């Protein structure tokens, strides 16, 4: 599918240019700046809708392609396109953009202009990451996004923001530098940065292995996978609400996306060989990330650690390397963005009123803010994977994928559903139930603006839960072609199943 206008470029540069334009607006016009940012974000979202509606689900090829010569000598070009793996992430990014502007309306009071500039820049760069089909271009967006994000955490964050921001920056930079080395090596061998051309280049196994780990460094930190996850709790906790939402909903998805877009197709043999290691790390993340939630006394920190556990499901699905797992993992990326985004927005809403994140400062909130309690309940249920919500579909597919790949990994991942229920319901009980804590007595329930910010996510929770086929249908073809590439030849799932049953699980022995 192709449009006669460059839709992907518009999606990337509409927010970026709007952000740059804001530089020239006087900081006195605060209201105007906010409305301008909201308009820019909304327009970006509206522009992404044609993408959604005109997407051809029947092909695994890249769609809405744009290609312009850029630096010919390096074999790099301005090359954009989306397929079933990236399209939903683009849409999630444009939606999240609006929500982030809306939730910051009153909560950001300081350096308002600069805040919205940073926000719009992040949004544009993130969309760029998901649309780039040229590795050099991808790397530029990948790194560019880091700067405004670093500022959002470091300038508008909580008391310990400087430590968190630097930690976030250094952590991700160390990973990215290794990827950069990998990129240069890749270019040296194949003489191009074009993803589609690279996919047709058969790399020697040893080189694949080295490159896999180089890219792994960048992606694993972003996901974040165990044991390189410790930047996340700090960054999430200290970031302003919009920052946490961006981090949770989009930024950490880039790691998982990177595995799917680059590691698996470019280094197929290495990926297959390293999958057991990845499965082990994923399962550890699921169980470990869940258990550690029980020890948290800070609302945002708890949700941050729960992200580690949920992202473990995503990577488990991806490296299960079968249809259920990868589709489930992809869906779980969207789900986690919606649900954790919703949870962070919700926490932002009460934080604005109470200025405390300590769970012990709450209690009985359901009596004080009943509508808010209902919203939070839906997100909680989605987080623990209740059937009927989006969380269930993703988790079920991932566990099924894990289970058919390696039974033990499926079983261990399934313990995540017990642990998840324990820490989320315990959190809900401490915040919303029992008698009203005097610190929070008399709080106002959600305003119309806040309600409208949460509503789209709530609708997505139910929509994906009740009719996930609509979303899964976007991915099916692309996922199958990816798997076919991995397994060299069309993936025969009945064989996988028969293998499980008759082979009786070689690993357990």
Partner 1 sequence: MQYYVLIPLLPLSAFVLNILFGKKITNIFGESFKIGAHWISLLGVASAFVLSIIAVKDVMDGHVVNADLYTWITSGNLRVSIGFLIDQLTAVMLVVVTSVSLLVHVYSIGYMHGDKGYYRFFSFLSLFTFSMLMLVMANNFLQLYFGWEMVGLCSYFLIGFWYEKKSAASAAKKAFVVNRFGDFGFSLGVMLVFLTFGTLHYADVFQGLPGIIGQKITVLGFRTDLVTVIALLLTCGAIGKSAQLPLHAWLPDAMEGPTPVSALIHAATMVTAGVFMIARTAPIFNASRTAMVCVMLIGGCTAFFAATIALVQNDIKRVIAYSTISQLGYMFMACGAGAYAFGIFHLYTHAFFKALLFLCAGSVMHAMQGELNIQKMGGLKKYMPVTYWTMLLASLSISGVPGLSGFFSKDEILLKTLASGLPFSGVVWVLGMLTAFLTAFYSFRVIFLTFHGKFRGHGELTHHLHESPPSMAFPLMVLAVGAVAAGFVGIPHSLGGHDAFARFLEPVVGEARSEGSVAQQWVVMGLSILASTAGIAGAAYVYLKKTDLPQMVAESFHHLHSLLYNKYYVDELYDLVVVRLFYRISRGPINRIVDGRIIEGVVNGVPSLIAWSAARLRRVQTGVVLHYSLVMAGGLFAMVVYVLARLWKVI
**Selected binder of partner 1 within 21, 441, 469, 495 (CB under 8 A):** 469
Shortest distance (Å) from residue 52 CB to partner 1? 19
Q: Cα–Cα distance between 51 and 84 in angstroms, integer?
A: 11
Q: Show Cβ contacts of residue 31 under 8 Å, excluding neighbours closer than 6 positions.
A: none
CB 181 within 8 A of CB 214: yes
Q: Cα–Cα distance between 77 and 222 in angstroms, integer?
A: 26
**Selected binder of partner 1 within 35, 191, 199, 387 (CB under 8 A):** 387
Shortest distance (Å) from residue 178 CB to partner 1? 14
How is residue 381 written in tokens?
């249920």
Q: For the beta carbon of residue 157, count every other beta carbon within 10 angstroms.
A: 22
Q: Which is nearer to partner 1, 191 or 445 (CB)?
A: 445
Q: Which is nearer to partner 1, 65 or 411 (CB)?
A: 411
Task: Please list every residue from 348 through 377 that binds partner 1, using CB under 8 A.
Answer: 364, 366-367, 374
The CA distances from residue 328 to 48, 281, 332, in Å, are 23, 18, 6
Task: Please list every residue from 142 through 171 that binds partner 1, using CB under 8 A.
Answer: 167, 170-171
Q: Which is nearer to partner 1, 183 or 304 (CB)?
A: 304
# of chain residues touching partner 1 (CB under 8 A): 68
17 touching partner 1, by CB under 8 A: no
CB 423 within 8 A of CB 383: no
Q: For the beta carbon of residue 24, count every other beta carbon within 10 angstroms.
A: 6
| Region of residue 442 (phi > 0: left; psi between -120 and 50: alpha; otherwise: beta) | left
344 touching partner 1, by CB under 8 A: no
- Please provide residue 16's backbone torsions phi and psi, each rounded to the nearest 5 degrees: -65, -50
Identify which of 317, 484, 281 has the alpha carbon closest to the alpha carbon of residue 393.
317
Shortest distance (Å) from residue 401 CB to partner 1? 9
425 touching partner 1, by CB under 8 A: yes
Identify which of 344, 398, 312, 130 has the alpha carbon closest to the alpha carbon of residue 236.
344
- Please provide residue 387's backbone torsions phi and psi, each rounded to the nearest 5 degrees: -55, 140
Q: Which is nearer to partner 1, 241 or 404 (CB)?
A: 404
For residue 451, give the H/E element and its range: helix 448-466
Applying CB under 8 A, which part among 247-255, 263-271, 451-459, 470-478 lies near partner 1? 470-478
**Selected binder of partner 1 within 168, 257, 379, 403 (CB under 8 A):** 403
Q: Which residue is it, tokens 């040893």?
A: 206
- The CA-based angle 168-173-176, given to 5 degrees, is 130
How is residue 17 written in tokens?
């240019």
**Selected binder of partner 1 within 139, 215, 324, 474 (CB under 8 A):** 324
Q: Which is nearer to partner 1, 79 or 171 (CB)?
A: 171
Q: Which is nearer to partner 1, 182 or 394 (CB)?
A: 394
| Region of residue 321 (phi > 0: left; psi between -120 and 50: alpha; otherwise: beta) | left
- Please provide residue 32's backbone torsions phi and psi, each rounded to the nearest 5 degrees: -60, -40
**Selected binder of partner 1 within 307, 404, 409, 481 (CB under 8 A):** 404
Shortest distance (Å) from residue 189 CB to partner 1? 31
Shortest distance (Å) from residue 435 CB to partner 1? 5
Shortest distance (Å) from residue 321 CB to partner 1? 12
**Secondary structure (3-state) at 132:** strand
211 to 240: interface string for partner 1, x by CB under 8 A: ----------------x-xxx---------
44 touching partner 1, by CB under 8 A: no
**Selected binder of partner 1 within 60, 176, 327, 406 (CB under 8 A):** 327
Identify which of 422, 392, 428, 412 has the alpha carbon closest to the alpha carbon of residue 286.
412
CB 134 within 8 A of CB 193: yes
Q: Which is nearer to partner 1, 23 or 448 (CB)?
A: 448
In the complex, which residues of this chain contact partner 1 (CB under 8 A)? 167, 170-171, 227, 229-231, 288, 291-296, 322-324, 327-328, 364, 366-367, 374, 381, 386-388, 392-393, 396-397, 399-400, 403-404, 410-411, 414-415, 417-418, 421-422, 425-426, 429, 432-436, 466-469, 472-473, 476, 493-494, 497, 500-502, 504-505, 508-509
């Amino acid at each position: 599918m192709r449009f006669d206008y460059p839709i992907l470029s518009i999606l990337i540069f509409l927010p970026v240019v709007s952000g740059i334009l804001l530089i020239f607006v006087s900081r006195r016009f605060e209201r105007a700046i906010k409305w301008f940012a909201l308009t820019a974000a909304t327009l970006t979202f509206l522009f992404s809708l044609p993408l959604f509606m005109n997407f051809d689900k029947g092909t695994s090829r890249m769609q809405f392609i744009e290609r312009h010569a850029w630096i010919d000598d390096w074999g790099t070009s301005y090359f954009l396109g989306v397929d079933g793996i990236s399209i939903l992430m683009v849409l999630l990014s444009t939606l999240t953009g609006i929500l982030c502007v809306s939730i910051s309306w009153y909560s950001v009071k300081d350096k308002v202009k600069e805040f919205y500039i940073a926000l719009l820049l992040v949004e544009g760069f993130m969309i760029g990451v998901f649309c780039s089909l040229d590795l050099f271009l991808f790397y530029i967006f990948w790194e560019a996004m880091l700067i405004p994000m670093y500022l959002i955490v470091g300038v508008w964050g909580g008391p310990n923001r400087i430590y968190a921001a630097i930690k976030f920056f250094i952590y991700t930079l160390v990973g990215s530098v290794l990827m950069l080395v990998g990129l240069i090596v890749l270019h040296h061998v194949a003489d191009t940065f074009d993803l589609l051309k690279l996919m047709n280049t058969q790399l020697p196994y040893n080189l694949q292995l080295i490159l896999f780990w180089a890219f792994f460094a960048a992606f694993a930190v972003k996901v974040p996978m165990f044991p390189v996850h410790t930047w996340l709790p700090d960054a999430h906790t200290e970031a302003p609400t919009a920052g946490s939402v961006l981090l949770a909903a989009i930024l950490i998805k880039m790691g998982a996306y990177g595995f799917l877009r680059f590691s698996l197709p470019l280094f197929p043999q290495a990926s297959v060989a390293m999958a057991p290691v990845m499965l082990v790390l994923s399962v550890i993340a699921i169980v470990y990330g869940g258990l550690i939630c029980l020890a948290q006394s800070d609302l945002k920190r708890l949700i941050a650690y729960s992200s580690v556990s949920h992202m473990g499901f995503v990577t488990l699905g991806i490296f299960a390397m079968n249809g259920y797992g990868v589709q489930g993992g992809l869906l779980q990326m969207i789900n986690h963005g919606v649900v954790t985004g919703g949870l962070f927005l919700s926490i932002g809403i009460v934080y604005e009123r109470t200025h405390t994140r300590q769970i012990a400062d709450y209690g009985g909130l359901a009596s004080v803010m009943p509508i808010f309690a209902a919203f939070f309940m839906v997100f909680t249920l989605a987080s623990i994977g209740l059937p009927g919500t989006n969380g269930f579909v993703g988790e079920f597919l991932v566990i099924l994928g894990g289970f058919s790949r390696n039974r033990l990994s499926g079983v261990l991942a399934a313990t995540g559903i017990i642990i998840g229920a324990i820490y989320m319901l315990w959190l809900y009980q401490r915040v919303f139930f029992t008698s009203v804590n005097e610190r929070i007595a008399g709080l106002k329930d959600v305003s119309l603006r806040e309600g409208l910010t949460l509503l789209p996510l709530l609708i997505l929770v139910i929509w994906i839960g009740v009719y996930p086929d609509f979303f899964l249908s976007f991915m099916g073809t692309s996922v199958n072609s990816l798997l076919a590439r991995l397994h060299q030849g069309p993936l025969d799932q009945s064989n996988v199943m028969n293998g499980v049953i008759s082979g009786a699980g070689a690993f357990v022995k």
